[in-house]
Structure 1
Amino acid sequence: MFQMITDSCCDLPAERLAELDVAFIPMVIELEGKEYTDDMGQSFDTDWFLAKLKEHAQPTTSQINVGRYMEYFRPYVEAGTPILYLGFSSGMSGSFQSAVQAVALLKEEYETVEISLIDTKSASLGEGFLVAEAARRKAEGASLMEVSQWVEAHKMQIDSWVTVDDLKQLERGGRISKTAAAIGGLLNVKPIITVDTDGKLRNVDKVRGRNKSIQHIVERTIANLQATQTKTVYLANAGDDEAAEKVIASLREKMPDVDIYHYPLGPTISSHTGYGCLAVFSFGTQRIAGV
């Protein structure tokens, strides 16, 4: 048997990860001079954090460093338990490279280190989607190699469609210029964002108004569901539950038998997207190529 591990950027609640027998490594968020642990809802005050985001607070996040990976991996290495780690996209964070370095250092200490690392090239519930599917296959008796091969073969099929309501956070993160954020705010422009083959966020379109942005990400998702003949969707939102319900209603209207897993967007990801972000994930056909 082997142990699956992920990180808190997968945005699956801690209770769900426990059900799936998946351990996780938390990210750290700093806000107003204090550090907070993104522990998947176990103690983190999500409502307080969302209220801060709505007030345009400016949290920062820290990637998982080499030492923390070693700390989390070491007990399994000492127990002789193989590890399969599914990590946050290397296109958005340096954490995955830290995991690679941690494994290299552990191999200098121990004769046997069985750790397989997979860069999911996804974020939030896109990563969580892969974690859940991998855990299901493990529970059905698949070996570490079989699960690993399945994830590598299918990770580029994770389809991500995202829209945000707060352009200030995108400006802070360097995704758009200060001028574009100001003009977009005045004109009520909402960006349409996806994740490309490099695991990076890509602005691919823009529409006027919240309702149009919701319909856009729903239509993109439905098109891929129909093309792949699948019906599972993961939805994450950073507050604005009313908008999330509109997404769900629209998905069900267009595809009544769709299976929707709806969870809050975690604080690590929402630190960069701002209040009101909506993100829909499904199995698609082909991602947009990186540049």
Structure 2
Amino acid sequence: MTYKIMADSCCDLPIEFVEKHDIHIMNMIVNMGGKEYIDDLGKTFDREAFFQKIKNGELATTSQINIGTYLEVFKYYIEENIPVLYLAFSSGLSGSYNNALAAVEMLREEYETVDITIIDTLAVCLGDGLLIYEAVKRKTAGASLEEVAQWVEENKTKLHSWVTVEDIKHLERGGRISAVSATLGTLLNVKPIIVMNRSGKLVPFAKARGRKKSLQFLVQKTVDGMIEPQEQTLFIGHAGVPEDANWVKEAIHEKAAVKDIQIYPYGPTIAAHTGFGSLAVFSFGEERK
């Protein structure tokens, strides 16, 4: 029996890939300037205009997907008798995953059979996207829903996410660091290095002095942490800085024989929290510590 792979729009995969493989996307909502926008993987949303707005100091907020939305979507697949594998982005960063679980429990009271499998990927942005990419690859090769779900569960904490943030003042404006820390960091030209921990939360890992050193740090940590790079497809995500993303791609290629590296822009859900200029590299290695 065929099955549907479902994901959140903050996976930041290209819309062409999503449509080609018929992935059902749960769209996140972004609020900016008193208006609501749908994060639809760039189908209608103007990412470049959004990047410029946050570069100019505007703030955006995001909303989790509510239970009612999940009920509506899940009901459709239950009534069409189509099993669903929902690869939800990290529960450590949003309540959406728990809302999805709650919706399924409510539907079990209404329907005799609810064939919906939900996995907390413990990842976000193109880290989530990379897990989905690998899941789709296995589904296309003929793997069952159960086989794909097992692969994701076994490999999700082997996904490494190395992130740097360019605009420390954005973190201050969003209330994520203090004004003192932001001012001191700006004066010292400090660029935070952030990682995803085993609980699916983004946590500080290190600090680099200057942009170039922060990018070099990401490159070296990615190269050092990879297992069987010749078999890997890496993802690089960025918020409005394709030149830096290309530099990182070439720097990794110079140090490791990687199968492929793909570059994609962040969507608004992620960029709203990281600010303009953020860059991240996603790969597979040993279990996260």
Shorter-chain-normalised TM-score: which range? over 0.9
Distance, in Å, in 2 between the alignment partners of 1:175 and 1:3 is 36
Query: Which SS does the other structure have where 2:109 is aligned?
Result: helix
Asked whether the 8 Å contact 1:11–1:266 carries over to 2, the reply is yes
Closer, same or farther: CA 226–82 of 1 in aligned 2, 3 Å: closer
- Residue of structure 2 equivalent to 1:145: 146
- Conserved 8 A contact 2:59-2:174: no
Does the C-alpha gap of structure 1 residues 284 and 145 become closer, same or farther in structure 2, counting only changes over 3 Å? Answer: same
- Match of 1:276, SS? coil
Q: Which residue of 2 aligns with 1:15?
A: 16
| Cα deviation code 1:124-171 (max 9, x no counterpart) | 110011101111111111111111111101100100000010112323
- Separation in 2, partners of 1:56, 1:279: 21
- Secondary structure class of the residue paired with 2:166: coil
Q: Residues of 2 paired with 1:100 and 1:226: CA distance?
A: 33
* CA distance 1:122–1:166, shift in 2 (3 Å): same
Confirm or deny: 8 A CA contact 1:28 1:36 kept in the other structure.
Answer: yes
Cross-structure match for 2:225: 224
1:126 aligns with 2:127: yes
Q: How big is the shift at 1:172? A: 4.0
Q: How big is the shift at 1:229?
A: 5.9
Q: Write the mapping of 1:25-174 to structure 2, written as runs, cut at 5 A.
A: 25-174=26-175
Deviates further, 232-241 or 272-281: 232-241
Secondary structure of 1:81's counterpart equals coil
Amino acid in the other structure paired with 1:75:
Y
Instruction: Give the structure 2 partner of residue 201 of structure 1.
Output: 202
Cα 1:173/1:92, change in 2 over 3 Å: farther
Q: Distance in 2 between matches of 1:202 and 1:267?
A: 20
Distance across 2 between alignment mates of 1:45 and 1:202: 29
Tell me the distance in 1 between the aligned counterparts of 2:227 and 2:180.
Answer: 38
Amino acid at match of 2:27: P
Which residue matches 1:4? Answer: 5
1:273 aligned to 2:274?
Answer: yes
Number of aligned positions between the proteins: 288
**1:226 CA drift (Å):** 4.9
Distance across 2 between alignment mates of 1:151 and 1:91: 17
In structure 2, relative to structure 1, the CA distance for the partners of 1:39 and 1:69 (3 Å cut) is same
Q: Which residue identity lines up with residue 14 of structure 1 in the other structure? A: I
SS in structure 1 of the partner of residue 214 of structure 2: helix
Give the TM-score normalised by structure 1: 0.95
Computed over aligned residues only, the root mean square deviation of the Cα atoms, in angstroms, reads: 1.4
Aligned partners of 1:252 and 1:258 also within 8 Å: no
Counterpart secondary structure, 2:86 = strand
1:258/1:188 Cα in 2 relative to 1: closer, same or farther (>3 Å)?
farther
Q: What one-letter code is carried by the residue in structure 2 that aligns with 1:89? A: S
Q: 1:226/1:135 Cα in 2 relative to 1: closer, same or farther (>3 Å)?
A: closer
Paired position in structure 1 for 2:265: 264
Asked if 2 retains the 8 angstrom alpha-carbon contact of 1:12 and 1:263, the reply is: yes
1:242 and 2:243 matched: yes
How far off its partner does 1:21 sit? 2.5
Whether the 8 Å contact between 1:228 and 1:285 is mirrored in structure 2 is no
Kept in 1, the 8 Å contact 2:229–2:258? The answer is: no
Cα distance change on mapping 1:231 and 1:114 into 2, 3 Å = closer
The separation in 2 between residues aligned to 1:150 and 1:173, in whole angstroms, is 36
Matched position secondary structure for 1:109: coil
Structure 1 residue runs of 5 or longer lacking an equivalent are none
Distance 1:49 1:9, change over 3 A: same
Q: TM-score, normalised by structure 2?
A: 0.96
In 2, are the aligned partners of 1:87 and 1:117 still within 8 Å (CA)?
yes
Q: Does 1:180 align with 2:149?
A: no
Task: Tell me which amino acid in the other structure corresponds to 1:125.
Answer: L
TM superposition shift of 1:93: 0.6
Unaligned 5+ segments in structure 2 are none
Runs of 4+ that moved beyond 6 A: none
